[in-house]
Amino acid sequence: MNAHVKIGQEIARQRSLPEIVAEYEAKAQAISDGLRACGKANLDLQTTATLAGVYGDTHLDFKLPSERELHAHLLKSAWLHAYAGVQHRHPLVADR
């Protein structure tokens, strides 16, 4: 049976638990690389906003989420996806 879960306005195929775990582990490993890339892009953008290395009299704040926050968000996303699949396969029915 192909279970589907509605995410926003799109329908996503409900993955099996091993598929969810594999995707979670791959994305968890990619978080550090993504943060490094964002940090470099941040520095490049700030450098682009200067002339001859002279900073303007303003503070440019490009706050990135922490690695811990991103891991927590990913974990919550994985659990919610897994739970949605269980609910879809075994909906709770209220007794009357």
23-53 residue pLDDT tens:
999 999 999 999 999 999 988 888 888 888 7
Contacts of 5 (CB under 8 A, 6+ apart): 11, 12, 13, 14, 81, 84, 85, 88
> Percent helix, strand, coil in the chain (nearest 5)?
55, 10, 30
d(CA 77, CA 42): 26
pLDDT above 50 (res 10): yes
d(CA 76, CA 83): 10
- What pLDDT is recorded for position 51? 86
**Lookup: tokens for 53:** 């290395």
**pLDDT digit string (tens) for 63-79?**
889 999 999 999 999 99
